[in-house]
Amino acid sequence: MKKVLLSLFVVTMVTSVAFAQEWERPKAWRGYETNGFWDNWEMAAGGGASNLMITNKMKDEPGKFFDRVGWNANISLSKWIVPVVGMRLQVDGGEFQNYSFDKATYGDGIFNTPYLYVHGDILVNMSNWIGGYNPNRIYSAVSYVGFGYTAMSWTKHSAGSYNGEFAFTSGLLNKFHITPQWDIELDLRSWLFAENSLPAEVRSNGRIAVALSASVGVAYRFNQRTWTPAYSQVEVDGYIAAIVGLEEEILALDGALVAAVNDVQALEAENKQLKSDMASIKEVEESTLECINLGEGVVFFTIGEASLTDYTRATLDNYITAMTGNDIAIVVTGYADKETGSQARNEQLSKERAESVTEYLTSKGIAPSRITTEWVGDTETAFSSPSTPLVNRCVTIKSCTME
């Protein structure tokens, strides 16, 4: 039963880490964006010393403290979800050295007790929490608490017979960053477990035993090792203001667009050859069409979204009014910013955005034969200024005559 519970605990930890990550769209937590599932993993190994104390007889513990120091070794795998919070699975093994409380029965020699402790921990980077995230910080103090299963005395040379028990652990992990990939770690750890899991030779007939260990080791970080700052509210407000300004400029150009449309209609009436050329080009595949730009509109989208907002529909309604009553060709092009999401996801997102605008235009009476729908993912940018990914989460609408 204990083994089943431990297995369920380990599976729960791994599953929690997996579902804590977004595969496509990052989100901000305490000012920083969460990374992908395979980023910010650490593998560590270390070794040092351990000591077992019987709390019921701590003052009367036989032998001096340093006479009871045994060895310790450990390996671990950690995943940082955000700069402050992470999870770790550690396998810790070694050997305790203790004298018996009952010398009349067991003698006054020292007893060696091998142990194996498997535990999962919740990590909290106190340096990042209190002092703020700093990728160049040399020292970080990481506190942790955890739960696991400890097994002792399973060899014929150890004291007693096999014993095992669940245990609670806590400690302080001191990390010294020497390169972007490597850390030196000093792990100071303690764990509590029921004393009846100890061999009979070293028990004091109490309830709780405490184990202490100190180990020095190295840790290696995989894939992306740093965190990207999320946009502050001030930055977001500034971006929104810039977008509103661009949209106001576009609305101001609508009058000029209407006049340009009237001019084009007059030129089409006078130039039959131009009409013939346009009719020929309409028969060419959409991917080969080129046009003379007569005016351009743009609508913007929320990060990771392709649905139209009320504000977007109002902008499109104004454009539809200008384009009603003529047969000028329209080119709809979808974009996505390359700062977030994978290239494949951005290709699909720009397609969905372009198609949502085309569907709205046709629902308002624009003939589908007038519209060419395109999408470019994050391979091209809609605007070079301002320099922000927000302005490339958009769809542009060109009104043009074929060339």
Region 160-175 average pLDDT: 86
For residue 147, the model assigns a pLDDT of 96
- What's at 93, amino acid-wise? G
Residue 124, burial from CB neighbour count under 10 angstroms (0-12, 13-18, 19+)? middle
Pairwise CA distance, residues 76 & 92, whole Å:
8
Give per-residue pLDDT as tens, 310-368. Answer: 888 888 888 888 888 888 889 999 999 888 888 899 999 999 999 999 999 999 989 99
Residue (of 283, 104, 88, 268) closest to 175 by Cα position: 88
pTM exceeds 0.85 for this model = no
Residue carrying structure tokens 């709390």: 55
Residue carrying structure tokens 């040399």: 138
For residue 219, the model assigns a pLDDT of 97
- Is the model's pLDDT at 290 over the cut of 70? no
- What's at 271, amino acid-wise? N
Residue (of 109, 98, 112) closest to 61 by Cα position: 98
Count CB-CB contacts under 10 A for residue 8.
10
Q: Cα 189 vs. chain centroid, distance in angstroms?
A: 28
Element at 45 (helix H, strand E): strand 41-54
Which DSSP letter does residue 236 get? H
What are the boundaries of each domain within the chain?
2-222, 233-402
Give per-residue pLDDT as tens, 56-89. Answer: 666 677 878 888 899 999 999 999 988 999 999 9
Inter-CA distances, 168 with 63, 78, 259, Å: 26, 18, 77
What topology does CATH give the domain 233-402?
60s Ribosomal Protein L30; Chain: A; (3.30.1330)
Q: 2-222 and 233-402 share one CATH topology?
A: no
Pairwise CA distance, residues 341 & 356, whole Å:
20
Most confident of 34-43, 263-272, 291-300, 353-362: 353-362
Give per-residue pLDDT as tens, 101-139. Answer: 888 888 888 888 899 999 999 999 999 999 888 888 999
pLDDT band at 232 (very low <50, low <70, confident <90, very high): low
Pairwise CA distance, residues 215 & 73, whole Å:
7
- Domain 2-222 class in CATH: mainly beta
For residue 324, the model assigns a pLDDT of 83
Largest Cα–Cα separation, the chain:
120
Pairing of strands 32-33, 182-194: unpaired
Share of the chain above pLDDT 90, in %: 34
- Is the model's pLDDT at 288 over the cut of 50? no
